[in-house]
Amino acid sequence: MEPSEFRRHGHALVDWIAEYLSGAERYPVLSRVSPGDVRNGLPTSAPEHGESFDAIFADFERVLVPALTHWNHPGFLAYFASSASAPGVLAEFLAAARNQQAMLWRTSPASTELEEVSLGWLRQLMGLPDAFEGVIYDTASISSLHALAAAREAAVPAVRNDGLAGRADLPGLSVYCSEHAHSSIDKAVILLGLGHRALRHVPADDQFRMRVDALQDAIAKDRAANLIPVAVVATAGTTSTTSVDPIREIADVCRRESIWLHVDASYAGVTAILPEYRVHFDGWEHADSVVVNPHKWLFTPMDLSAFYCRRMDVVRQAFSLVPEYLRTAEGSRGVRNLMDTGIQLGRRFRSLKLWMVLRHFGAEGVREVLTEHIRLARLFAQWVDEDVEFERLAPVPFRVVCFRARPRAMAAASAAELDTFNEELLAAVNASGDVFLSHTQLNGVLTLRVAIGHLNTAERHVARAWQLLREHTEQLLSLHR
């Protein structure tokens, strides 16, 4: 592509994206296409001759745009709502053009050192001690995988070289997390060869927090059965309700028992930037590792997961492997090469967007947005609490509200009928195109979730969700009558 052509298309994209970032609301949040629409709308093989960017972009608008579910839309209130802010998007544009690959310091001093700088900034903002060294991975799944791999390295003699199979010297292993922990912990345990049954899903209390007494019992039982406890994963912001496990008490258990403590704060961790919310994270300074995801609640585009570890030497011990073709003089002089702390050799210039986002917003700007999101969640919770047709199903520590419709007219309904009613309600609200909510299950009950997190989500979006929920509840009731 000629520079003049790149300029023309680039400028057009800037205008298009500018409109999108401020005007996403003209699209339905949840895509309305049917399975197969995209596949059937495109040729089954690559073109023989190159095509113009205009033709490519026309197909993007015709076939792909209707098939987008708009994560970057202020009405997106599902899962963990997030946002790609303008400075984050510009940073990704720059990063793509530079195509840095920071496996070694020398292959990208900028990316290597900016990773240290920006993770240092974020660490300080959250009040984590200096003893935590940081590294950026793509996702929390990979961060927690590294945490558990390091825990395995620390707990199992010679595991790097000898592995786990066929070793008469080795008993079974076990890992502990709450029954509300994220499925990425299950996947990591499976991948590491510990076996899914090595994962103890410790019961939670009535506020969905891991029960420390149950954790202690599980550890004692495993020790009695001669198993090796490898790690405890405490979650700060579980996926369903954003509940926070009692980190300090869990940390005490881990210290006493000499077990690796990993804190999965991928969702809620950034809230520690608010001094009044730091209490939720009390004790995480004693963890061995912590994961926090700026792409969840810190306005950076996918993907960027920040992994902090007190014992990064163990991660290196687990994974450092320097073939001749990657040996450098700097490496032997103690300069940090990021490939030594990860299973992925290739790494994009992800720190650029974190750095640009933190500078653009400043600590003050970040606090303002987080505070507003939390205010909106409390407001929504209050509406739910005050309406006799609805009930709230979990506390609201951050910005996610769990609730369901429980109409008085259905007082005699069975549990299954109430679940079906709420599924229908959810589908009707999402079909509006104005907002998109998701669901979970709590104590066997189908639960609706409102998750606030997009930068531009304002009171009117939350109010619209509430209005739709009430209207469709009435409509569904009249249909059922």
For its own copies, the binding residues in 387-416 under the rule CB under 8 A are none
Please give the torsion angle defined by the CA atoms of residues 85, 86, 89 and 95, in that order, rounded to the nearest 10 degrees. Answer: -120
Dihedral sign computed on CA atoms, order 333, 334, 338, 344: positive
Q: Please, what is the minimum distance in Å from the beta carbon of residue 179 to its own copies? A: 11
Based on the shown chain and the rule CB under 8 A, indicate whether residue 217 belongs to the binding site for its own copies.
no
Which residue in this structure is represented by tokens 């922990």?
181
3-class secondary structure, 57: helix
Binding region for its own copies (CB under 8 A) out of 141-149, 205-213, 247-255, 384-392: 141-149
> What's the one-letter identity of residue 136?
I
Q: Please, what is the minimum distance in Å from the beta carbon of residue 14 to its own copies? A: 3
Q: Please, what is the minimum distance in Å from the beta carbon of residue 460 to its own copies? A: 19
Based on the shown chain and the rule CB under 8 A, indicate whether residue 445 belongs to the binding site for its own copies.
no
Based on the shown chain and the rule CB under 8 A, indicate whether residue 136 belongs to the binding site for its own copies.
no
CB atoms within 10 A of CB 47: 9
- The CA distance from 297 to 70, in Å, is 16
Binding string to its own copies for residues 233 to 272, with x set by CB under 8 A, is what? ------xx--------------------------------
Based on the shown chain and the rule CB under 8 A, indicate whether residue 192 belongs to the binding site for its own copies.
yes
Q: Please, what is the minimum distance in Å from the beta carbon of residue 339 to its own copies? A: 9
Site for its own copies in 327-356 (CB under 8 A): 330, 333, 335, 343-348, 352, 356
Q: Please, what is the minimum distance in Å from the beta carbon of residue 419 to its own copies? A: 11
Residue from the set 28, 75, 82, 401 that interacts with its own copies by CB under 8 A: 82
Which tokens in the block code for residue 273?
């930037």
Rg of the chain, C-alpha, whole Å: 24
Residue from the set 25, 116, 217, 252 that interacts with its own copies by CB under 8 A: 116
Nearer to its own copies, 99 or 414 (CB): 99
Please list the residues that pair with 309 across neighbouring strands.
133, 289
3-class secondary structure, 24: helix
Nearer to its own copies, 387 or 424 (CB): 424
Based on the shown chain and the rule CB under 8 A, indicate whether residue 183 belongs to the binding site for its own copies.
yes
Site for its own copies in 14-33 (CB under 8 A): 14-15, 17-22, 30-31, 33
CB atoms within 10 A of CB 15: 9
Based on the shown chain and the rule CB under 8 A, indicate whether residue 117 belongs to the binding site for its own copies.
yes
Q: Please, what is the minimum distance in Å from the beta carbon of residue 343 to its own copies? A: 5
Residues 353, 91 contacting (CB under 8 angstroms): yes
Contacts with its own copies: how many residues (CB under 8 A)? 162
Please list the residues that pair with 392 across neighbouring strands.
403
Length of the chain: 481
Residue from the set 206, 276, 364, 386 that interacts with its own copies by CB under 8 A: 364
Based on the shown chain and the rule CB under 8 A, indicate whether residue 289 belongs to the binding site for its own copies.
no
Q: How far is CA 148 from CA 190, 219, 229, 264, 312, in A?
A: 11, 17, 12, 11, 12
Site for its own copies in 297-326 (CB under 8 A): 301-303, 305, 318-319, 321-326
Binding region for its own copies (CB under 8 A) out of 97-105, 372-380, 414-422, 459-467: 97-105
Buried b (16+ CB within 10 A) or exposed e, 382-394: ebbeebebbebbb
- The CA distance from 341 to 312, in Å, is 8
Based on the shown chain and the rule CB under 8 A, indicate whether residue 70 belongs to the binding site for its own copies.
yes
Q: Please, what is the minimum distance in Å from the beta carbon of residue 474 to its own copies? A: 24
Q: Please, what is the minimum distance in Å from the beta carbon of residue 274 to its own copies? A: 14
Based on the shown chain and the rule CB under 8 A, indicate whether residue 203 belongs to the binding site for its own copies.
no
Secondary structure string (H, E, C) spanning 286-334: HCCEEEECHHHHCCCCCCCEEEEECCHHHHHHHHCCCCHHHCCHHHHCC
- State the number of CA atoms in the 13 A half-sphere of 235 facing the CB: 26
